[in-house]
Amino acid sequence: MSVPLLKIGAVLSTMAMVTNWMSQTLPSLVGLNGTTISRGGTSERIVSALYPSPEEGWQIYSSAQDADGKCICTVVAPAQNMCNRDPRSRQLRQLMEKVQNITQSMEVLDLRTYRDLQYVRDTENLMKTVDGKLKTASENPRSLNPKSFQELKDKVTQLLPLLPVLEQYKTDARMILRLREEVRNLSLVLMAIQEEMGAYDYEELRQRVLLLETRLHSCMQKLGCGKLTGVSNPITIRASGSRFGSWMTDTMIPSSDNRVWSMDGYFKGRRVLEYRTMNDFMKGQNFVQHLLPHPWAGTGHVVYNGSLYYNKYQSNIIIKYHFRSRSVLVQRSLSGAGYNNTFPYSWGGSSDIDLMADENGLWAVYTTIPNAGNIVISRLEPQSLEVLQTWDTGFPKRSAGESFMICGTLYVTNSHLAGAKIYFAYYTNTSTYEYTDIPFHNQYSHISMMDYNPRERVLYTWNNGHQVLYNVTLFQVIKTSED
């Protein structure tokens, strides 16, 4: 039995999900232009798009047939919340905003009318008194002596504030007419949208798309690992803090948890800011502060399964700090590891020990005197921080700008400055290495932190006071069998 290899370049990023999609998982997919992928006995290669580009919708890279005649294809899914870009979705959102505005206006009218009506009720007896005195004066003018006239004048003066209230009533009446017209227009637009959508329930369709995206994301996770072949252009999220620092999201928790952590500076820092969401981090709002019991060194920190792992200042001790309990769960010395700028990256900054996580777990990248300053990789047990296995890469750490792990492979840049490339890769699964030439744009010319997040499959970097993301391209080799 022969085993052909179907080589597929897979773009794995926050903006697009690439997955191997079996027809038994999803029986069929029909695009807006009529392109259909379904279960069946065809081995024809499909190179077509349901939309013009992955940014706009589904795109099919290729398909093949397995031994059972089932379709195997690679799909680039659109960004999540694709429905939000649908014109009808935008129209509905605008309608919702108008309805909300009308509701708020009605609430203001209601409060104002209630207040003014109360005032009118309070002046009702006064108006009756004035009316009675005027009738008496008109029937018997001689009864209106100077004292009675002054009393009548005072009471009329008390009624003068009623005039602006009545003017407000007129204004509110005009506003009610305008609101009634807006409601009528909204009804017409909603009827038009309903006719355009026909029998389809738009919310149901949106939920089906979200479910499909969830299943595709699950398939992507099952795909496992690949080899890094490219890095996207930088995406600047925010400019904050000093020249050096680190920021991150949890590398392991469910995707529903969107917290972001920021640690400014590279030595003696203790202040960690926790933001509720990425959007809050971008705006610098809705955060809580954690004050670490021990200061940190370098920028090689990582958040893994709810805990912060960092290098204790002026030591080779690794600390595991649990955010929820705000306590140190464990700390352990990384035996023989250099610290305090003994073996830093090329930019210095006490970056001797770099902690990171990928699809295979928790790692420490450092070096020792017996290793002559070459980069050492150790896989750590997350609970006890015990070293499970160690590799000597043979690459001098002082010649490295930064490094990160993807799928058990350490990738090393040749500089922290402009013009840097991903220059070296060490594969822990085979204990082999190779020199690479993967360029990326170092937009702000001084990277002091670069880490991969396996949950989001992006690179987080701190670049000269800017927090920047890079999407990555992984090369997949998918095996299929045939008779």
Please provide residue 65's backbone torsions phi and psi, each rounded to the nearest 5 degrees: -125, 135
How far is it, in rounded angstroms, from Cα 144 to Cα 135? 11
- In this predicted structure, what is the pLDDT of residue 366? 98
How far is it, in rounded angstroms, from Cα 117 to Cα 128? 17
Amino acid (one-letter) located at 133:
K
Chain-centre distance for alpha carbon 232 = 17
CATH code assigned at 425: 2.120.10.30
Q: What value, to the nearest 5°, has the Cα angle with vertex 371 and ends 369 and 372?
A: 65
How far is it, in rounded angstroms, from Cα 20 to Cα 38? 14
**pLDDT tens digit sequence for 269-287:** 999 999 999 999 999 999 9
Residue 54 placed within a domain:
no
If asked whether residues 186 and 249 sit together in one domain, one would say no
Strands (E), 3-125: 5-12, 17-22, 28-30, 36-38, 48-49, 59-65, 71-77
Residue 94 placed within a domain:
yes
State mean pLDDT over 150-174: 72
Q: Which two tokens stand for residue 377?
A: 């990789």
- In this predicted structure, what is the pLDDT of residue 450? 97
Count of other CB atoms within 10 angstroms of residue 190: 14
Residue 54: band (very low, low, confident or very high) from pLDDT cuts 50, 70, 90: very low
Residue 61 or residue 326, greater confidence: 326
Residue 172 or residue 255, greater confidence: 172
- Mean pLDDT for the chain overall: 77
Share of the chain above pLDDT 70, in %: 69
If asked whether residues 175 and 319 sit together in one domain, one would say no
Residue 106: band (very low, low, confident or very high) from pLDDT cuts 50, 70, 90: confident
Residue 425 placed within a domain:
yes
The sign of the dihedral angle between the CA atoms of 281, 283, 286, 287 is positive
383 has a pLDDT exceeding 70: yes
Contacts for 409-418: CB closer than 8 Å, 24+ residues apart: 409/227, 409/228, 410/365, 410/375, 410/377, 411/228, 411/436, 411/438, 412/375, 413/447, 413/450, 415/346, 416/345, 416/346, 416/347, 416/442, 416/446, 416/447, 416/448, 417/442, 417/445, 417/446, 418/442, 418/445
Residue 33: band (very low, low, confident or very high) from pLDDT cuts 50, 70, 90: very low
SS3 of 457, please? Answer: coil
Which has the minimum average pLDDT: 118-122, 254-258, 349-353? 118-122
Residue 127: band (very low, low, confident or very high) from pLDDT cuts 50, 70, 90: confident
If asked whether residues 176 and 252 sit together in one domain, one would say no
Residue 28 placed within a domain:
no
- In this predicted structure, what is the pLDDT of residue 65? 53
SS3 of 125, please? Answer: helix
Residue 10: band (very low, low, confident or very high) from pLDDT cuts 50, 70, 90: very low
Residue 415 or residue 68, greater confidence: 415
**pLDDT tens digit sequence for 426-449:** 999 999 999 999 999 999 999 999
Q: Which two tokens stand for residue 143?
A: 């009864």
SS3 of 115, please? Answer: helix
Please provide residue 212's backbone torsions phi and psi, each rounded to the nearest 5 degrees: -60, -45
Residue 420 placed within a domain:
yes
Which has the minimum average pLDDT: 188-202, 261-275, 394-408, 433-447? 188-202
**pLDDT tens digit sequence for 303-356:** 999 999 999 999 999 999 999 999 999 999 999 999 999 999 999 999 999 999
Residue 226 or residue 121, greater confidence: 226
- In this predicted structure, what is the pLDDT of residue 49? 34
**pLDDT tens digit sequence for 450-461:** 999 998 889 999
If asked whether residues 244 and 174 sit together in one domain, one would say no
Residue 261 placed within a domain:
yes
Residue 149 placed within a domain:
no
Alpha carbons within 13 angstroms on the beta-carbon side of residue 92 total: 15
If asked whether residues 241 and 166 sit together in one domain, one would say no
180 has a pLDDT exceeding 90: no
- In this predicted structure, what is the pLDDT of residue 354? 98
If asked whether residues 239 and 354 sit together in one domain, one would say yes
- In this predicted structure, what is the pLDDT of residue 124? 67
Rounded to two decimals, the pTM is 0.59
Q: Which residues contact 348 (CB under 8 A, 6 or more apart)?
A: 341
Structural domain boundaries, residue 172 = 86-128+158-199
How far is it, in rounded angstroms, from Cα 408 to Cα 454? 11
**pLDDT tens digit sequence for 240-250:** 999 999 999 99
Q: Which residues contact 98 (CB under 8 A, 6 or more apart)?
A: 182, 186
Residue 87: band (very low, low, confident or very high) from pLDDT cuts 50, 70, 90: low
Residue 56 placed within a domain:
no
If asked whether residues 177 and 317 sit together in one domain, one would say no
Q: Which two tokens stand for residue 394?
A: 């043979």
If asked whether residues 380 and 457 sit together in one domain, one would say yes
**Are the beta carbons of 448 and 266 closer than 8 angstroms?**
yes
CA gyration radius for the chain?
34
Angle between helices 87-122 and 124-139 (to 10 degrees): 50
SS3 of 390, please? Answer: strand
**Are the beta carbons of 245 and 351 closer than 8 angstroms?**
no
Domain count, the chain: 2
Residue 164 or residue 353, greater confidence: 353
State mean pLDDT over 111-121: 70
Domain ends where: 144, 179, 199? Answer: 199
If asked whether residues 171 and 256 sit together in one domain, one would say no
If asked whether residues 175 and 250 sit together in one domain, one would say no
67 has a pLDDT exceeding 60: no
191 has a pLDDT exceeding 80: no
Per-residue buried b or exposed e for 282-295, using 16+ beta carbons within 10 Å of the residue's own CB = eeeeebeebebebe
How far is it, in rounded angstroms, from Cα 274 to Cα 263? 9
If asked whether residues 170 and 250 sit together in one domain, one would say no
If asked whether residues 261 and 379 sit together in one domain, one would say yes
Please provide residue 97's backbone torsions phi and psi, each rounded to the nearest 5 degrees: -65, -40
**Are the beta carbons of 417 and 442 closer than 8 angstroms?**
yes
Share of the chain above pLDDT 90, in %: 48
The sign of the dihedral angle between the CA atoms of 132, 137, 138, 140 is positive
Sheet holding 361-366: strands in order across? 354-358, 361-366, 374-380, 387-396
